[in-house]
A and B are shown apart, each in its own frame.
Chain A
Amino acid sequence: MAFKTSVQKYSGNVCNLELGTGEKKISLGGQNVIPFYSFDGDTGSGAKIGLEILDIYPDNWVDELKNLYGSAANNAAEWARLVEEKYSPDFICLRLVGADPNGLNKSVEECAALAIEVAKAVKLPLVIAGTQNHEKDLKLFEKVAEVLEGYNVLLLAAVEENYKTIAAAGVTAYKHKVAAESSVDINLAKQLNILINQLEVKSENIVMHVGSAAVGYGFEYVASTIDRIRLAALGQNDKTLQMPIITPVSFDTWNVKEGASTIEDTPEWGDQTERGIAMEISTAVGVIAAGSDAVILRHPRSAQTIRAFLGKLI
């Protein structure tokens, strides 16, 4: 008997979604196979890489990163321009941490003004990340969506508590894309997608954020949730789970002790930046291999490695 390649054909595919405008706009999704299974069919647009910047100076980031960005990190627009020119990621994630009521509690007007400055400074698509405070995010995204009309950004994210306003304002009124965030459970992800669909928001305008975790921290739940969502989307042609997936990897990996512990705290572990990059790379590869269509990273070195990694598998 001779070897015969095992081929799996699926009836469903992942929706194709566009982010940004002009020459640097990107597509997410479009595949009808499991990541990198080119022997089965069309691998779609391939995973996209975003770099994270903040609306405030990144005091809590490792010194090495602060030195890398220098004074540009004091001004989000300048920072975004630097990231675009020097590291050319697929998109930029502007994280409005300054709006957090448990932090600086900046006003939504101030944040919106900053967001429009960033949007004008670069050609790359933007992902706008909120504070994870449901009430604040509701007002924040409403305002940000309004001022960024025409830029086709992704609002990260709407949850069950605030999806009505964010999806209605973001997508219906101002033609952006919305990320639907659920907590590591296929049924919760499906339910939120259906609820957003019921607002007359089409699946082509929705990205899923199905929860995230750093490797070593319950990552198996994330991996299996994404596995199951992808198999349902492709194998059962489940229309309510065919949206592309985005995973904000860096939001977790730099907070767990492997990435956060300084060399003074744990000298035996060696350089902190190197550990942080390693955690970020491993977690990103993990979610991409399961089926994430976009990852948000913090260190340019991580982005460079993931880009080279993806290049080797296409």
Chain B
Amino acid sequence: MAMTGLDIYKLTPKTNCKECGFPTCMAFSMKVAAGGVEISKCPHMSEEAMAKLSESTTPLMKAVSFGQGETEYKLGGETVLFRHEKTFVNRNRYAVLFSDEMPQEQIDAKLANMKNVHYVRIGEEMKVEIAALQYTGNKASYLALINKVKASGLKVAYMLVCEDLSVLKEALSLVGDEKPIVFGATKDNYQEMVGLAKDSKLLLGVKAAGLEELYELVENIQKLDYKELLLDTGIASVRDAFTNAVQIRRTALKEQDRTFGYPSVVFINELAKGDKFMEIALASLFTMKYGSILVLEDMDYARALPLYGLRQNIFTDPQKPMRVEPKFYPINNPGDNSPVLITVDFALTYFIVSGEVERSKVPTWLGNPDAGGYSVLTAWAAGKLSGSVIAKFIKESDIESKTKCRKLIIPGRVAVLKADIEDGLPGWEVIIGPDEAMHLPKFLRTMEGIN
């Protein structure tokens, strides 16, 4: 929370010595609160007061990062509990778990799956971002596993899930340069763990039995002046993990207690116990609410399609309308006889319309002129979707060379534009489509002269 001038004044010596250049301590404090002058201009501030002030200006939830170059990701830095209050800023990341006790075929299969699930959806690259590498007791196999993942050619960040300091040191000699996440510090090893993570500022996972113990452990780690932390929600039960994720976030943002002002990690693979559909359910829950790294058993399209879609939606900034690029999109492999259908560039409208066109299985050129990112009626009312906008869009695109069909279907809600468009586009016949996208399949299938 920002401090007021009065709050700051209370921390000054209140001597009005004028050494800061201001006539009174109060005037100086007001200026500091407004951001007009640095607090360090006052030579008489106590160390304690300075610490308090710098504390008040740091964010409630710290933004941390891990990985290197192409695999660098940010977590945390959230300022609200609900996205409509402002926006969520750093999306959660998905990890797949490997361990040294897994048979080689299983490791190979997971690596192959991770390679396979890699696609772009509305401008965002969708893939597994993290390989979580768990040590279960066989050092030689563990190091071999790390080398194998490293040699796989996958662009992933690493999370070393290992509490054995000597093994961890060797693991870091293999992938230390790639800024892996180190997981993790416990009440028994945290001093050594901090020592290991500190030099390269590695993100350090913190693990404890229950929130009380976790809180105490974070306090102890912070006393060692280390704040690149990732808090484990635990695997005792789904209910506990969810409670912990909510309490960690709420303690930071609502209670304004920075001890829990860090991102969290949820080992969903452990909670789902091998049930893939349960894993999808739990990963969806923690994507909605406050999981920062979600560790999964494996990745395939059945998991990826819903989870990446959900994540993309939840981390969309509600302050900006979501738009798709204004252009023509080929749906169902249209050819040079396929009709042209017009909608708007508001993402929600575009997806509903394109989905229905796909369902119709009728090859169609779907175009969305720049309508300001509004829905059909709003865009029309705002003058962003007019006869001239549509005519200009058709002319400036190369659609007339792509199809010989001169039938242009417009949304039923803007039937009034028909004459205007036809005036601007000689040779085209404007056809009034249905009012609702859900009627498009039947409309397209039964429309005469297009099949």
Residues of A within 8 A of B (CB): 1-6, 8, 36-39, 102, 132, 213-221, 223-224, 227-228, 231, 255-258, 260-261, 268-271, 274-275, 277-279, 281-283, 285-286, 289-290, 301-302, 305-306, 308-309, 312-314
* A217:B352 contact, CB within 8 angstroms: yes
* B348:A217 contact, CB within 8 angstroms: yes
Which listed residue (B288, B347, B355, B438) contacts A223, Cβ 8 A? B288
| A1 to B313 Cα, complex, angstroms | 38
Answer whether A281 and B277 are a contact pair too, CB < 8 Å, given A3-B212, A39-B243: yes
* Chain B interface residue count, Cβ-Cβ cutoff 8 angstroms: 63
Q: Could you list some 28 contacts between A and B, CB below 8 A?
A: A1-B259, A2-B216, A4-B255, A36-B239, A37-B246, A102-B439, A132-B438, A215-B306, A216-B121, A216-B306, A216-B313, A217-B355, A218-B351, A219-B314, A220-B83, A220-B316, A221-B348, A223-B288, A257-B355, A274-B302, A275-B301, A278-B277, A278-B280, A285-B284, A286-B284, A301-B277, A312-B238, A313-B238
* B83:A278 contact, CB within 8 angstroms: no
Answer whether A313 and B247 are a contact pair too, CB < 8 Å, given A220-B318, A231-B82: no
Residues of B within 8 A of A36 (CB): 239, 242
| A278 to B278 Cα, complex, angstroms | 10
18 more A-B contacts (CB under 8 A) besides A219-B313, A282-B310? A3-B259, A39-B243, A214-B309, A215-B306, A216-B121, A217-B313, A217-B352, A218-B322, A218-B351, A221-B348, A223-B83, A268-B301, A270-B300, A274-B302, A278-B305, A289-B289, A308-B278, A313-B239
User: Nearest chain-B residue to A257 (Cβ)?
Assistant: B358
User: Nearest chain-A residue to B219 (Cβ)?
Assistant: A1
Chain A nearest Cβ from B33, distance in angstroms:
27
| A277 to B301 Cα, complex, angstroms | 12
Main DSSP-derived SS at the A contact region: helix
* B288:A290 contact, CB within 8 angstroms: yes
Q: How many A-B residue pairs have CB under 8 A?
A: 171
Does B312 make an interface contact (CB < 8 A)?
yes
* A277:B284 contact, CB within 8 angstroms: no
Residues of A within 8 A of B84 (CB): 224, 227-228
Residues of A within 8 A of B216 (CB): 2-3
Taken residue by residue from 346 to 369, chain B's Cβ proximity to chain A (1 for < 8 Å, 0 otherwise) reads as 011001100110110000000000
Residues of B within 8 A of A256 (CB): 351, 355
| A221 to B288 Cα, complex, angstroms | 13
| A279 to B306 Cα, complex, angstroms | 5
Residues of B within 8 A of A271 (CB): 302
Residues of A within 8 A of B63 (CB): none
Residues of B within 8 A of A132 (CB): 438
* A312:B239 contact, CB within 8 angstroms: yes
Does B442 make an interface contact (CB < 8 A)?
yes
Residues of B within 8 A of A8 (CB): 250, 254
Does B266 make an interface contact (CB < 8 A)?
no
User: Nearest chain-B residue to A305 (Cβ)?
Assistant: B277
Does B99 make an interface contact (CB < 8 A)?
no
Which listed residue (B246, B281, B300) contacts A306, Cβ 8 A? B281
Residues of A within 8 A of B352 (CB): 217-218
Answer whether A2 and B284 are a contact pair too, CB < 8 Å, given A220-B318, A224-B82: no
Which listed residue (B219, B251, B281) contacts A305, Cβ 8 A? B281
Taken residue by residue from 250 to 273, chain B's Cβ proximity to chain A (1 for < 8 Å, 0 otherwise) reads as 110011000110000000000100
Chain B residues numbered 210-250 whose CB sits less than 8 Å from any CB in chain A: 211-212, 214-216, 219, 237-239, 242-243, 246-247, 250
Residues of B within 8 A of A285 (CB): 281, 284-285, 288
* B310:A286 contact, CB within 8 angstroms: yes
* A3:B211 contact, CB within 8 angstroms: yes
* A6:B288 contact, CB within 8 angstroms: no
Residues of B within 8 A of A220 (CB): 83, 313-314, 316, 318
Residues of B within 8 A of A309 (CB): 238, 278, 281-282, 285
| A257 to B119 Cα, complex, angstroms | 15
State the 9 A-B residue pairs at the shortest beta-carbon distance, nearest first: A216-B309, A282-B306, A3-B215, A218-B348, A312-B238, A215-B310, A285-B284, A220-B313, A305-B277
